[in-house]
Structure 1
Amino acid sequence: MTLDCNRTIVDVFTEACAEFADSPAFTCLGHTLTYRDIDRLSGQFAAYLQQCTQLQPGDRIAVQLPNVLQYPVAVFGAIRAGMVVVNTNPLYTASELKHQLTDSGAKALVVLANVAAAASEIIEQTDVEHVIVTELADLHPPLKRTLVNFVVKHVKKLVPDFSFAKSESFTQVIKAASQAPKPHSATPDDVAVLQYTGGTTGVAKGAMLTHRNLVANMLQVNLHMQDCFRKNQDLFVAPLPLYHIYAYTIHCMCAFSLGNENLLIPNPRDIPGFVKELKGKPFSCFVGLNTLFNALCRNEDFRNLDFSHMRLSSSGGMALTKDAAKRWEEVTGTPVCEGYGLTETSPVVCINPRQAIKLGTVGLPVPQTEVKTIDEDGTDLPVGEAGELCVRGPQVMKGYWHREEATREILGDDGWLKTGDIAVIDAEGYVKIVDRKKDMINVSGFKVFPNEVEDALTAHPEIVEAAVVGVDDEESGELVKAFVVVSNPNLSEQDVRDFARQSLTAYKVPSSVEFRDELPKTNVGKVLRRKLKE
């Protein structure tokens, strides 16, 4: 089976806008932009970059936005002008932002006013020449735009003070150019996106994702999911941030290429607000992750929604617990297709096919993707044996930006990428992720995988969330420690350990349990075990 990976993101974008011009593309806070609107507005943004700045094709532009209508306009506009998009987390602290802007050499920044204070602190210490500030409702009709932006700023006071020596507003920028943008002819091997990764484990590195990588992964996912991805008739719910590569590929590549609509949720942590956005909408595809599925299922208004149009629920970004998957299916009537990927693979490697879900696995490799497991010496392992998962396919990144040594450590000349994840591949080809290699706990020579212990703990009806780390111990090298969030304040450490004993062998049972009000997470909702370990 061959995939035509010789097209660029601009080719895919242009074809979709021509074919689905009058169909809704992105909806946010009650306002919808059609494919024609996205084409026009991103063209105006591209023209501004080409005609009103000194920026050249290949220059980096950081986009620091949550899920708002300006995100696809800025990203598609930047790519149409030949720029490299640097997806940037709006929750970054000033020092995290400074690292990413400096490391990428970004020359422009598009930032939401609500989070611009961090950028204003460090912008003079970077190469950024152009700062474009946008407010929440900038792409809404004039009256609504004025009202919403006023309420956000002056009534809810959600925009802290900030000041840039020089900046422009997004609304000015998209009207600034006098001529249409000049088409930029990118090649499939040009870098389209610098996607930073490694923030949960150390200093963030920029994965160079080319047009070929992203178009290939789009085609792989669309083909793998062809029994449930329809053309021009699905409404995808987009609560995961588009600056995260999983959401970017699903919503801005897969759904967009098929002429489908994306319902953008700017703040998925506001569960009541999120549920309000879903009311009365015929959503058919829901993209989420474990912590979000848990939170929504505990909300009564969510449980009362109309799920009759639902065709697909997709999970990625972190391990899906059996309990969360079971509860989600009970509430929505739709099983969760868990998948797996990495930033370095654009990101999708495997997905559970909807008609043949194997719970506890991340499914089968998408088309034209090879997987294998290796031992510590790099020797290939037989089926059924746990080892480090390696991946090869057209979606594997070009390498890390300006980090040749780090690239060589995980990417071989033969195209095999070491994932750092421990996996088992069964006889049918399904992949089960056992855990992160670096998170594995060694108790007296026995390997303990945190995911397994967390899965066992969250089966308890009063344990809402659990995270497990290894703590140093003189006798056994390491011991298992659990951090839990519970719904019953009377639950004791002994209760938790006794429950764990019912399904885990003795050395896997947590030796200590710490109760927390919440677990530290990335903005995507992935639990930060590193922070707990510290």
Structure 2
Amino acid sequence: MSSDRPWFQQYPEGIPREIDVDEFPSVVSVLENAIDNYRARPAFSNLGKTLTYAEIDELSRQFAAYLLGELKLKKGDRVAIMLPNCLQYPIATFGVLRAGLTVVNTNPMYTARELRHQLVDSGASVVLVLDNFGDTVQEVVRDTPVKQVITTGLGDMLGFPKGNIVNFVLKYVKKMVPEYNIPGAVRFRATLEAGRRHELPTVEIAPSDIAFLQYTGGTTGVAKGAMLTHRNLVANMQQSAAWVGTNVRYGEEVIITALPLYHIFALTANGLVFMKFGGLNHLITNPRDMPGFVKELKSVPFTAITGVNTLFNGLLNTPGFDEIDFSRLHLTLGGGMAVQRSVAERWKKVTGVTLVEAYGLTETSPAACINPMDLKDYNGAIGLPIPSTDACIKDEDGNVLPVGEVGELCIKGPQVMKGYWNRPEETANVLDPEGWLHTGDMARMDEQGYFYIVDRKKDMILVSGFNVYPNEVEDVIASMPEVLEVAAVGVPDEHSGEVVKVVIVKKDPGLTEDQVKAHARENLTGYKHPRIVEFRSELPKTNVGKILRRELRDESPR
């Protein structure tokens, strides 16, 4: 670790400088420990149905036994899980891990192009998909290494008759389930039945085994899989649990999980940390339905909630939110994007609880810095490096900069990924020989060891906590024959932090804004869609012809 670590002096009482990364050899051992300690306690609830730790144990074992016994998957094989927050997610994820396999978390909102890339790149043998997105899988599965498709309806784990009603309403009333036909696909419930016929063998899982291939956007516009090992995830769980756990009541916590579990923030902070605490994850399937979300919050005696700035802002602006009983709430953690001061101050005023900002990356499993839990008010910092984590600010030549100077934030610790899947050059670009992860974020550290993000070194756009890489958007728009040149930049937005803006030089004078947006809808997930389309006669460029995105960004009203 670096010699000068002033942040230790700011650690709240009871927070260790180092964590025991070897207490649990794998994520599976964390799960099994929670099952032993909290068998009868509720573990996950969704749409009125709750599963205990014992039930998660039994169902995930059945799924693991199906994968090994029926499909004959081998250790290290990849299984893609394409689900929103629902009870099938923890069952399937823990089943995959218990079988010694690797989870490929897959955004259900992916377009066919994005899904095809991820399934091919990861070499996934199996994909589990919600019926609502089955048509996307149908479109691409022939072009991928996938041998088995497993399908499920949102109501499938809710029991009779509720599950049947939910599935019927989604398909026939709300028309949210398109027709699709995937020959040879099996239903999730059938896999659990099949798994009962097989003994689950003892699977040796090493700390260095890859637990998750967590895809993150690339500066080249190609998503790449961060290899997160069991040790990475266990380390980050231990770090985060030590940081937030000083006033936790084991076996009694109820955390609202509105961010998708396929996103690394909710996966670790909610799924793993609160499992260690023996807590209940209350899964919100569609947090975009803010009135429905607020109505649900009124019926749940929750103690903790995580989210991104847009989620908190949305709740605060939904009628009825201020009528919720916040008497048990003691932890609100914001990450994924910058928390805005106005939102944090309003959250404290309405709930009585400080919105504590954290900072992390997919590549750090994700937590690297968190503000102290006893923080009285929002401070604009991303916090202090958490236990067993080192952080510093480096210049372009790799020299460590002194206090107050702006440079690239670099992170070191047991939560830092193994590297990018099958991309040694990309790995070498971000992980230096000394083990420092170069985050691409420009930051500074103050005398007390608090870190502040100043700007992004990359041209990445952050929409509601999701990374949007301009190159990917530009590649899609540039594929239109009517487009001569295009640049994509992020512009500030009060709802989502930033939105995508594209500036286009036309090849065909008849090209319209509507055509551009329609093309984007076909090829990009919703949050990557350009909200603003501007046409110009030329784009600003360097003397070697590189488009100056920064100039376009600086012109945008702030």
Is TM more than 0.5 here? yes
Choose the corresponding residue for 1:371, options 358, 373, 391: 391
Aligned pairs for 1:413-452 (under 5 A) are 413-439=433-459
Query: Offset at 1:294?
Result: 1.0
Q: Is the 8 A contact 1:197 1:206 kept in 2?
A: yes
Partner of 1:64: 82
Partner of 1:461: none
CA distance in 2, matches of 1:433, 1:156: 43
**Residue 21 in structure 1 maps to residue 34 in structure 2:** no
Q: Deviations over 1:189-223 (max 9, x none)?
A: 01110000016872111000000000000000011
Greater CA drift, 63-72 or 174-183: 174-183
Q: Is the 8 A contact 1:153 1:159 kept in 2?
A: yes
Give the TM-score of the pair, scaled to structure 2.
0.80
Q: Structure 2: which amino acid aligns with 1:304?
A: E
Choose the corresponding residue for 1:5, options 5, 13, 21: 21
**RMSD value, Cα:** 2.6
Partner of 2:275: 256
**Counterpart secondary structure, 1:95:** helix
Partner of 1:190: 209
Query: Offset at 1:524?
Result: 11
Query: Offset at 1:401?
Result: 0.1
Q: Structure 2: which amino acid aligns with 1:214?
A: L
Query: Offset at 1:236?
Result: 0.3
Q: Is the 8 A contact 2:98 2:203 kept in 1?
A: yes
Q: Structure 2: which amino acid aligns with 1:94?
A: A
Query: Offset at 1:36?
Result: 0.4
Greater CA drift, 223-232 or 282-291: 223-232
Choose the corresponding residue for 1:347, options 362, 366, 381: 366
**Residue 35 in structure 1 maps to residue 35 in structure 2:** no
Partner of 1:173: 191
Partner of 1:151: 169
CA distance in 2, matches of 1:235, 1:180: 33
Query: Offset at 1:289?
Result: 0.9
Partner of 1:412: 432
Choose the corresponding residue for 1:51, options 69, 72, 95: 69
CA distance in 2, matches of 1:528, 1:27: 36
Query: Offset at 1:136?
Result: 0.1
Choose the corresponding residue for 1:212, options 228, 231, 244: 231
Q: Is the 8 A contact 2:138 2:180 kept in 1?
A: yes
**Residue 280 in structure 1 maps to residue 280 in structure 2:** no
Choose the corresponding residue for 2:408, options 363, 385, 388: 388
Partner of 2:130: 112
Greater CA drift, 416-425 or 171-180: 171-180
Q: Structure 2: which amino acid aligns with 1:408?
A: A
Q: Structure 2: which amino acid aligns with 1:5?
A: V
**Counterpart secondary structure, 1:286:** strand
Query: Offset at 1:176?
Result: 0.5
**Residue 95 in structure 1 maps to residue 113 in structure 2:** yes
Partner of 2:555: none
Q: Relative to structure 1, is the Cα distance of residues 527 and 235 closer, same or farther in structure 2, using a 3 angstrom cutoff?
A: farther
- Structure 1 unaligned residues grouped into runs of 5+: 441-449, 455-466, 470-477, 487-519
CA distance in 1, matches of 2:211, 2:532: 30
Q: Structure 2: which amino acid aligns with 1:261?
A: L
Greater CA drift, 139-148 or 244-253: 139-148
CA distance in 2, matches of 1:484, 1:281: 31
Q: Is the 8 A contact 2:103 2:213 kept in 1?
A: yes
Query: Offset at 1:407?
Result: 0.2
Q: Relative to structure 1, is the Cα distance of residues 79 and 526 closer, same or farther in structure 2, using a 3 angstrom cutoff?
A: same
Q: Deviations over 1:36-81 (max 9, x none)?
A: 0100000000010011103111000000000000000000000000
Greater CA drift, 10-19 or 353-362: 353-362
Partner of 1:317: 336
Partner of 1:239: 258
Query: Offset at 1:483?
Result: 5.1
CA distance in 2, matches of 1:241, 1:481: 23
Partner of 1:79: 97
CA distance in 2, matches of 1:230, 1:246: 22
**Counterpart secondary structure, 2:357:** strand
Q: Structure 2: which amino acid aligns with 1:4?
A: D
Query: Offset at 1:257?
Result: 1.2
**Residue 329 in structure 1 maps to residue 372 in structure 2:** no
Greater CA drift, 31-40 or 298-307: 298-307
Q: Deviations over 1:140-184 (max 9, x none)?
A: 112111111111111211101111121000011111121331121
Identity across matched positions, percent: 49
Q: Is the 8 A contact 2:27 2:234 kept in 1?
A: yes
Q: Relative to structure 1, is the Cα distance of residues 34 and 524 closer, same or farther in structure 2, using a 3 angstrom cutoff?
A: farther
Choose the corresponding residue for 2:323, options 304, 310, 314: 304
Q: Is the 8 A contact 1:108 1:128 kept in 2?
A: yes
**Counterpart secondary structure, 2:221:** coil
CA distance in 2, matches of 1:423, 1:128: 42
Choose the corresponding residue for 2:154, options 116, 119, 136: 136
Q: Is the 8 A contact 1:29 1:277 kept in 2?
A: no
Q: Is the 8 A contact 1:351 1:362 kept in 2?
A: yes
- Structure 2 unaligned residues grouped into runs of 5+: 1-16, 471-486, 496-520, 535-548, 553-558
CA distance in 2, matches of 1:210, 1:196: 14
Q: Is the 8 A contact 2:257 2:284 kept in 1?
A: yes
Q: Structure 2: which amino acid aligns with 1:377?
A: D
Q: Structure 1: which amino acid aligns with 2:319?
A: E
Q: Is the 8 A contact 1:43 1:180 kept in 2?
A: no
CA distance in 1, matches of 2:148, 2:257: 29
Q: Relative to structure 1, is the Cα distance of residues 289 and 525 closer, same or farther in structure 2, using a 3 angstrom cutoff?
A: farther
Q: Is the 8 A contact 1:425 1:431 kept in 2?
A: yes
Greater CA drift, 104-113 or 300-309: 300-309
Q: Deviations over 1:456-494 (max 9, x none)?
A: xxxxxxxxxxx9x9xxxxxxxx9x9955569xxxxxxxx
Give the aligned length. 468
CA distance in 1, matches of 2:71, 2:226: 26
Q: Deviations over 1:339-385 (max 9, x none)?
A: 00000000000111121355100111110000000111211100111
Q: Deviations over 1:2-32 (max 9, x none)?
A: 4332311111111101110000000101110
CA distance in 1, matches of 2:494, 2:418: 40
Query: Offset at 1:523?
Result: 7.8
Q: Deviations over 1:286-323 (max 9, x none)?
A: 10111111111111111211111110110000011111
CA distance in 1, matches of 2:230, 2:493: 42
Query: Offset at 1:239?
Result: 0.4
Query: Offset at 1:247?
Result: 0.5
Partner of 1:472: none
**Counterpart secondary structure, 1:371:** strand
Q: Is the 8 A contact 1:80 1:183 kept in 2?
A: no
CA distance in 1, matches of 2:382, 2:131: 38
Query: Offset at 1:226?
Result: 2.2
Q: Structure 1: which amino acid aligns with 2:35?
A: C
Q: Structure 1: which amino acid aligns with 2:429?
A: E
